[in-house]
């Protein structure tokens, strides 16, 4: 018996160990859904790739300091020709005679040419530093764009999460309404005195409830698809969710919300980084009209092919090279284009700054309105429940059971639906305010 009990314990332990991860997982919270979305989101993967590209572009600017090597080879033909005149004296003295001899010569040679030249950039008057600054700021702008995309993904998940919870709750209440209308229809059929009118009204009420349930189930299916798409897992099964509509405490004033939004919203940080990058582009474009200094070294080897008089000649050279651009004599449109881009970037940053202020104000007002709606609909639901209880008491005494119950439950159902709508609207409004500010409360 003891061996059997030990074996049974081993089996139970194995089963518990096998199922414990699934049991420990439990329902998916909002934060769990956000983490899964951040791991799966194609938009975030695209943004991360752009950050990697911007980082590589920043490093590529330093390629300007890489030596430029030129290797060349070929054949050259040298033709040399001319004449010489030689004058000699045959008799010394004042009256001596002279002899003049003229000679003509011509020489040709074919030589193979092989050489290499190395040029190293030393400095310019701001072009390189401007390009380096611009690349660094654009890298920072892409990181802020990634943060913006992350906030958008988080908001989409929260909206889809609470929309799915609300759709679930609606379906449950609509199913309760169908059950209640079906019970009323049965009670009306048993009441001989009011069979005609009460039964017809109960039958109509049941049909309306079934139609509402059918619409609610369709809305639930759409909400499930939207949620799975938001977390980046389309086609998967919908996991159980944590149904929590507790509102967060807000301990900052509207003015403080705006100030924090202007300091933490990545969209504004991105726009300001683009302004700095564009300013650096302007500086680089202006410096491009100044000289560029480099050092160079070259070696050239000449080897005779058809003339042995000059077998080999090696030429070495080196020094400083100054490249003086002359494009400014033709046009300065490149600088004008960069300056126009700077003005556009500044205007865009100001536009985002104003939009943030407006978004925070609107989101804060929407949340206040949603919270007030929760308070009012909660009072409405409490009053409807009290009337329902009174109707149930009269029903137990046999006083107009069918009509009173149908009317009272209709009020209860409507009040609950309004309250549910207000509760989840408040959570969505809270998420939108957090997005407008740029951080969670």
Q: How far apart are CA 153 and CA 431, in angstroms?
A: 12
For residues 26-42, average pLDDT: 93
pLDDT tens column, 238-277: 899 999 999 988 888 999 999 999 998 999 999 999 999 9
b/e map 137-175, b = 16+ CB within 10 Å: bbbbbbbbbbbbbbbebbbbbbbbbbbbbbbbbbbebbe
pLDDT score of 226: 95
pLDDT tens column, 296-324: 999 988 887 765 555 678 889 999 989 89
pLDDT score of 91: 56
Angle at 290 between CA 288 and CA 295, to 5 degrees: 100
- Shortest CA distance to 173 belongs to which of 209, 208, 211? 209
pLDDT score of 395: 66
HSE-CB at 415 with a 13 A cutoff on CA atoms is 20
Indicate if the pLDDT at residue 21 is higher than 80: no
pLDDT score of 5: 43
Structural domains in the chain, sorted by start: 29-68+125-290+333-437 (1.20.1600.10)
Mean residue pLDDT across the chain: 84
Least confident piece of the model among 8-17, 190-199, 365-374, 417-426? 8-17
Angle at 389 between CA 383 and CA 390, to 5 degrees: 90
58: pLDDT confidence band, cut at 50, 70 and 90? very high
pLDDT score of 107: 72
- Shortest CA distance to 425 belongs to which of 380, 356, 372, 361? 372
Indicate if the pLDDT at residue 53 is higher than 50: yes
Q: How far apart are CA 172 and CA 380, in angstroms?
A: 20
| Residue 311 phi, psi dihedral angles, 5° rounding | -75, -45
For residues 141-162, average pLDDT: 96
- Shortest CA distance to 48 belongs to which of 151, 153, 157, 145? 145
CA-to-CA separations, 405 to 194, 205, 293, in angstroms, rounded: 14, 12, 94
Indicate if the pLDDT at residue 13 is higher than 90: no
pLDDT tens column, 154-186: 999 999 999 999 999 999 989 988 888 887 777
């Amino acid at each position: 018996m003891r061996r059997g009990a030990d074996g049974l314990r081993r089996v139970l332990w194995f089963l518990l160990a096998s199922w414990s991860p699934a049991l420990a997982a439990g329902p998916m919270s909002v934060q769990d859904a956000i983490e899964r979305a951040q791991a799966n989101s194609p938009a975030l993967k695209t943004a991360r790739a752009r950050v990697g590209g911007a980082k590589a572009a920043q490093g590529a600017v330093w390629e300007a300091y890489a030596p430029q090597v030129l290797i060349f080879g070929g054949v050259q033909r040298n033709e040399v020709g001319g004449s010489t005149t030689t004058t000699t004296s045959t008799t010394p003295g004042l009256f001596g005679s002279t002899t003049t001899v003229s000679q003509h010569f011509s020489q040709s040679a074919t030589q193979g040419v092989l050489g290499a030249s190395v040029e190293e950039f030393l400095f310019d008057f701001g072009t390189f530093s401007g390009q380096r600054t611009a690349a660094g700021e654009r890298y920072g702008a892409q990181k802020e764009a990634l943060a913006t995309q992350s906030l958008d993904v988080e908001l989409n998940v929260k909206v889809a999460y609470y929309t799915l919870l609300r759709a679930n709750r609606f379906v449950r209440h609509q199913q309760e309404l169908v059950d209640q209308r079906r019970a009323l229809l049965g009670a009306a059929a048993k009441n001989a005195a009011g069979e005609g009118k009460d039964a017809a009204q109960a039958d109509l009420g049941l049909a309306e409830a079934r139609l509402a349930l059918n619409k609610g189930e369709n809305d639930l299916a759409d909400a499930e698809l939207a949620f799975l798409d938001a977390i980046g897992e389309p086609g998967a099964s919908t996991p159980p969710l944590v149904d929590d509509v507790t509102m967060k405490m807000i301990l900052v004033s509207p003015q403080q919300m705006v100030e924090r939004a202007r300091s933490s919203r990545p969209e504004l940080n991105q726009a300001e980084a683009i302004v700095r990058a564009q300013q650096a582009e302007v500086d680089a474009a202006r410096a491009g009209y100044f000289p560029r200094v480099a050092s160079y070294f070259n070696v050239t080897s000449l080897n005779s092919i058809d003339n042995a008089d000059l077998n080999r000649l090696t030429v070495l050279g080196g020094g400083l090279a100054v490249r003086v651009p002359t494009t400014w004599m033709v046009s300065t449109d490149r600088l004008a284009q960069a300056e126009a881009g700077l003005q556009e970037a500044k205007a865009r940053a100001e536009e985002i700054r104003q939009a943030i202020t407006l978004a925070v104000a609107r989101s804060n007002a929407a949340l206040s309105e949603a919270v007030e709606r929760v308070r009012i609909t909660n009072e409405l639901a409490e009053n409807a429940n009290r009337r329902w209880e009174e109707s149930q008491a009269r029903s137990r005494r046999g006083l107009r059971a069918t009509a009173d119950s149908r009317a009272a439950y209709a009020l209860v159902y409507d009040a609950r639906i309004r309250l549910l709508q207000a509760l989840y609207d408040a959570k969505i409004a809270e998420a939108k305010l957090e997005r407008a500010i740029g951080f969670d409360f």
